[in-house]
A and B are shown apart, each in its own frame.
Chain A
Amino acid sequence: MSEQIHAVTMPKWGIEMTEGTVIRWNASAGQRIDKGEPLLEVETEKIVNTVDSPFSGTLRRIIAESGEVRPVGALLAVLAEDDVSEPTLARFIEQFKGAQVSFEPDAAVGTAASAAVHDAAPGTEAADDEPRVSPHAKRLAERLGVDLARVRGSGRNGRITREDVEAFAAQSSATAPAAVGGADNTAVRLRLSPTRVTIARRLLESKQTIPHYRLSIEVQAAALVQRAEQAAREAGRRITMNDLLVRACALALVRHPELNAWLEGEEIVRFARADVAVAVATANGLITPVVRGAEAKSPAEIATVTAELFERARRGELTREDISGGTFTISNLGMFGLPRFDAIINPPQVAILAVGVAEDRVVAIEGAAAVAKMMTLTLSADHRVIDGAVGAAFLGTLRTLIEEPQRL
């Protein structure tokens, strides 16, 4: 009869107590105990206190010996009358479920871990003479090898921000190359510039996460060359084929807005204006200044904008504004004589056009072999949002614009 069996459990003394240590038993098994008699001593984080026996009976079993730590509610001993059989006692002990105390919010009611005492991750703290620096700025400085003592902070109380580190690194340009000794070869070890770090990160992300596909098309370029010369004469300034290609792409983009877009999370952002980014190689690496509203600009206006952007890019004076917000990118390596190549999409954009050199190629025209000025355009597109037919249609429009360039 379980009414004749009484559980002595780890008491809960005070709000914070979740466990206690048995210090000493004042009685031994088999001894008769009266209600209120001091039965054992328990130690908590704060005190040592005596547990008076809550019941009268024989101390039949001691479950938790001196020195043992038990959570609040755990069985410490069993009191019962002498006529309670051993098997009954054993069953009681086996089936005993004490109260469980937990302050963890996710613990299911009635089940809980014991005390919430384990290691917390230590915070970082700065000695008084250490420079004030944000954690991300500190990481970047370590990566770029920037000496923080030399960086001026623009944050609160002169704290160094990541932008400060980037600016410092850009300013001190190519950080002094350090020689590395090989046994029979000499090498230098160069830190990536901040620009290069950014390029690397974005290209890797693009290549790894965007399902690229490529579409190539050969177009006749003779008319475009003539149109460029004509426009230059009219404007009285240099206008390149590239400037006309920017305009051609802009017009094609307006007609195919699927490509004039960003993919953000699960949303496509389609733009009304074609802000065409033009990849340009500089000493610091690839930069893509943006020609805004290219569909509404004349070839001469585009030429003025690109000339100025390229010049500032070469001098390293481009602002963040100049290089952000492009809705589509053109990469032209024709000047290096490359017949064709493909490019990696610049996210969040969804497509990029790679332009090869305009060169004389043997082609079949009306059933006969002929020589014509040809150019290969390769579109890389993000298959998540642009299907092949859409990309092909865009290239078709572009071909028409290039081969019949009066509208440019």
Chain B
Amino acid sequence: MELDRTKLLDAYRRMKTIREFEERLHVEIATGEIPGFTHLYAGQEAVAVGVCAELTDEDYIVSTHRGHGHCIAKGCDVTGMMKEIYGRRDGLCKGKGGSMHIADFDKGMLGANAIVGGGPPLAVGAAIACQLRRPASGEGRVSVAFGGDGSCNQGTVFEAMNLAVVLGVPTIFVFENNGYSEHTGADYAVGSKDITARSAAFGMPAERVDGSDFFAVHAAMQRAVARARSGAGPSTIEATTTRFYGHFEGDPQNYRAKGEIERQRATMDCLARFRATVAADGSIAAAELDAIDRAVLLEIDAAVSAARAAPMPSESELTTDVYISY
């Protein structure tokens, strides 16, 4: 299925929003004003957006410590996210979660997760719920488990993949292989060096795509989501990609070759590749995309200003939200 112009423009806007959100955070974090431990998604935008373009608010995703991109792709409010990252009272999680724990249940975003491999079992559970509520005829809802190459070595992930196959539930496992589990290369940490083959061995269709090509990711997602919605069970997508920044902000990245990031920014920039593709087929004029770029910058500026001006939580909120009732 071809994407119409509106959807294409929307996809570009979301990728650009993620990029500028993260680029701006990179600058703001260095000022010391943003607390904690932040993992930037810049470079991987085509994966989150290519996958989420096929999802509605009724579908579920679980995310990772590197979750800003998934949130924006799934439709979370950018200002609410920014406030959360600044630890403000009216952030998406009232300042209690922070960068690694953004969730928005209205958007089917079941939460970022700071435990590597913590999310995929939750996605299988969400898919069980989708399966139970599947309409008698027509398409059902699905869940997506985002994870990095590092997560594929966790026992919880193995267990989740096997369970999804056993139950035939509509989960799509998306492994964003950016080449590094923290400060260690995926080529070392993934023994077989092949996440796709490993996933297939669990008994589900699995394919590897170029994660900096929005169109390739989207096409793979269309195949996986069609299977899932029709009741044919889980799939895996391994998207090879890169992160333009360190594991976390402040990571000196001594494990990466000099010039690697510059080279990847030149050759693996999903935004540039998107522009090249639409320019080649003439579907969207560059000026339209330029207009989106300008609008996005303004939106991010506004989000940062709003976050900086927003109040901090009051001490009385420390002990609320632990339980619903107690």
Do any CB atoms of chain A lie under 8 A from CB atoms of chain B in the complex? yes
Contact with A along B21-48 (1 / 0, CB 8 A): 0000001011111001100000000000
Picked from B30, B33, B250, B312, the residue with its CB within 8 Å of the CB of A15 is B250
> A12 contacts B31, CB within 8 Å?
yes
Chain B nearest Cβ from A86, distance in angstroms: 25
Any chain B CB within 8 A of the CB of A72? yes
Any chain A CB within 8 A of the CB of B158? no
A46 to B252, CA, bound (A): 9
A-B Cβ contacts below 8 A, count = 43
Picked from B31, B37, B250, B251, the residue with its CB within 8 Å of the CB of A99 is B31
Any chain A CB within 8 A of the CB of B202? no
> B29 contacts A15, CB within 8 Å?
no
Any chain B CB within 8 A of the CB of A87? no
A14 to B250, CA, bound (A): 4
Please name all residues of chain A whose beta carbon is closer than 8 Å to the beta carbon of B27 when the two chains form the complex.
54
Chain A nearest Cβ from B15, distance in angstroms: 22
> B32 contacts A15, CB within 8 Å?
no
> A12 contacts B29, CB within 8 Å?
yes
Contact with B along A52-78 (1 / 0, CB 8 A): 001000000000000000001100000
> B30 contacts A12, CB within 8 Å?
yes
Q: Of residues B29, B30, B249, B252, which shows the largest number of chain A Cβ atoms within 10 Å of its Cβ?
A: B30
A14 to B32, CA, bound (A): 10
Please name all residues of chain B whose beta carbon is closer than 8 Å to the beta carbon of A26 when the two chains form the complex.
none
A12 to B252, CA, bound (A): 12
> B251 contacts A14, CB within 8 Å?
yes
Please name all residues of chain B whose beta carbon is closer than 8 Å to the beta carbon of A109 when the two chains form the complex.
312
> A98 contacts B31, CB within 8 Å?
yes
> A14 contacts B249, CB within 8 Å?
yes
Please name all residues of chain A whose beta carbon is closer than 8 Å to the beta carbon of B32 when the two chains form the complex.
9-12, 72-73, 98-101
A98 to B31, CA, bound (A): 8
Chain A nearest Cβ from B307, distance in angstroms: 13
Tell me the chain B residues, 230-264 only, with Cβ under 8 Å from chain A: 248-252
A49 to B252, CA, bound (A): 8
A47 to B27, CA, bound (A): 19
Chain A nearest Cβ from B65, distance in angstroms: 13
Please name all residues of chain A whose beta carbon is closer than 8 Å to the beta carbon of B251 when the two chains form the complex.
14
Any chain B CB within 8 A of the CB of A307? no
Any chain B CB within 8 A of the CB of A17? yes
Picked from A9, A11, A15, A100, the residue with its CB within 8 Å of the CB of B37 is A15
Please name all residues of chain A whose beta carbon is closer than 8 Å to the beta carbon of B37 when the two chains form the complex.
15
Please name all residues of chain B whose beta carbon is closer than 8 Å to the beta carbon of A12 when the two chains form the complex.
29-32, 249-250
A10 to B248, CA, bound (A): 18
A17 to B251, CA, bound (A): 11
Query: Given A15-B36, A15-B37, A109-B312, does the pair A73, B249 have CB atoms closer than 8 Å?
Result: no
> A47 contacts B312, CB within 8 Å?
no
Residue ID in chain B nearest A103 by CB atoms: B35
Contact with B along A26-53 (1 / 0, CB 8 A): 0000000000000000000011010000
A54 to B30, CA, bound (A): 10
Query: Given A46-B252, A49-B252, does the pair A73, B33 have CB atoms closer than 8 Å?
Result: yes
Total chain B interface residues with beta-carbon distance under 8 A = 14
> B36 contacts A11, CB within 8 Å?
no
Contact with A along B297-322 (1 / 0, CB 8 A): 00000000000000010000000000
Chain B nearest Cβ from A6, distance in angstroms: 11
A100 to B30, CA, bound (A): 12
Tell me the chain A residues, 84-116 only, with Cβ under 8 Å from chain B: 98-101, 109
Please name all residues of chain A whose beta carbon is closer than 8 Å to the beta carbon of B29 when the two chains form the complex.
12
> A73 contacts B250, CB within 8 Å?
no
Please name all residues of chain B whose beta carbon is closer than 8 Å to the beta carbon of A46 when the two chains form the complex.
252
Residue ID in chain A nearest B30 by CB atoms: A11
Q: Of residues A10, A14, A54, which shows the largest number of chain B Cβ atoms within 10 Å of its Cβ?
A: A14
A110 to B312, CA, bound (A): 11
A370 to B251, CA, bound (A): 103
> B33 contacts A13, CB within 8 Å?
no
Residue ID in chain A nearest B33 by CB atoms: A99
A54 to B31, CA, bound (A): 11
Chain A nearest Cβ from B73, distance in angstroms: 26
A384 to B181, CA, bound (A): 70
A54 to B27, CA, bound (A): 7
Please name all residues of chain A whose beta carbon is closer than 8 Å to the beta carbon of B248 when the two chains form the complex.
14-15
Please name all residues of chain B whose beta carbon is closer than 8 Å to the beta carbon of A17 when the two chains form the complex.
250
Tell me the chain A residues, 115-130 only, with Cβ under 8 Å from chain B: none
Residue ID in chain B nearest A15 by CB atoms: B37
Contact with A along B84-120 (1 / 0, CB 8 A): 0000000000000000000000000000000000000
Q: Of residues B29, B252, B312, which shows the largest number of chain A Cβ atoms within 10 Å of its Cβ?
A: B252
Please name all residues of chain B whose beta carbon is closer than 8 Å to the beta carbon of A99 when the two chains form the complex.
31-33
> B312 contacts A13, CB within 8 Å?
no
A73 to B31, CA, bound (A): 5
Chain A nearest Cβ from B311, distance in angstroms: 11
Q: Of residues A12, A15, A54, which shows the largest number of chain B Cβ atoms within 10 Å of its Cβ?
A: A12
Picked from A9, A14, A47, the residue with its CB within 8 Å of the CB of B31 is A9
Please name all residues of chain A whose beta carbon is closer than 8 Å to the beta carbon of B252 when the two chains form the complex.
13, 46-47, 49
Chain A nearest Cβ from B42, distance in angstroms: 15
Please name all residues of chain A whose beta carbon is closer than 8 Å to the beta carbon of B30 when the two chains form the complex.
9, 11-13, 54
Q: Of residues B32, B249, B251, B252, which shows the largest number of chain A Cβ atoms within 10 Å of its Cβ?
A: B32
Please name all residues of chain B whose beta carbon is closer than 8 Å to the beta carbon of A101 when the two chains form the complex.
32
Chain A nearest Cβ from B222, distance in angstroms: 39
A37 to B31, CA, bound (A): 17
Chain B nearest Cβ from A46, distance in angstroms: 7
Please name all residues of chain A whose beta carbon is closer than 8 Å to the beta carbon of B249 when the two chains form the complex.
12-14
Q: Of residues B27, B249, B250, which shows the largest number of chain A Cβ atoms within 10 Å of its Cβ?
A: B250
> A13 contacts B31, CB within 8 Å?
no
A73 to B252, CA, bound (A): 19
Chain B nearest Cβ from A51, distance in angstroms: 8
Residue ID in chain A nearest B312 by CB atoms: A109
Top 3 closest pairs, chain A to chain B, by CB:
A14-B250, A99-B33, A99-B32
* 12 A/B residue pairs, CB under 8 Å, sorted by A: A10-B32, A13-B30, A14-B251, A15-B37, A15-B250, A46-B252, A49-B252, A54-B27, A72-B32, A73-B33, A99-B31, A100-B32
6 more contacts with CB within 8 A, not counting A12-B29, A13-B250, A14-B248, are: A9-B30, A12-B249, A12-B250, A14-B251, A54-B27, A99-B32
